[in-house]
Amino acid sequence: VMTEDGQPSEIQEKILTIEVKPGWKEGTRITFPKEGDQGLNRVPADIVFTVRQKSHPLFVRQKDDLIYKAQISLMM
């Protein structure tokens, strides 16, 4: 936080929470406007998070669907 004369007055910590929504894809961007560092004669920067998809050992994503392949035995 900056004082009126542009000097740093204190350091503040803030927790930003993201609720991941169903259907978000890789590349989805979440922006927290003006939540970044503040500097002399500058507006606080935006903080931007970009969703990255992590691979899963059982499920594969195909567009909006999750695919799970399983081998099953059929008895007659």
Of the pLDDT bands very low, low, confident and very high (cuts 50, 70, 90), residue 58 is very high
DSSP 4-69: TTS-B-----------PPTT--TT-EEEETT-S---TT-PPPPEEEE--PPP-SSEEEETTEEEE-
The CATH T-level fold of domain 1-76 is HSP40/DNAj peptide-binding domain (2.60.260)
Listed by start position, the domains of the chain span 1-76
Kindly report the average pLDDT of the chain as a whole number: 87
- pLDDT tens digits, one per residue of 11-28: 778 899 999 998 888 999
Is the pLDDT assigned to residue 7 strictly greater than 90?
A: no
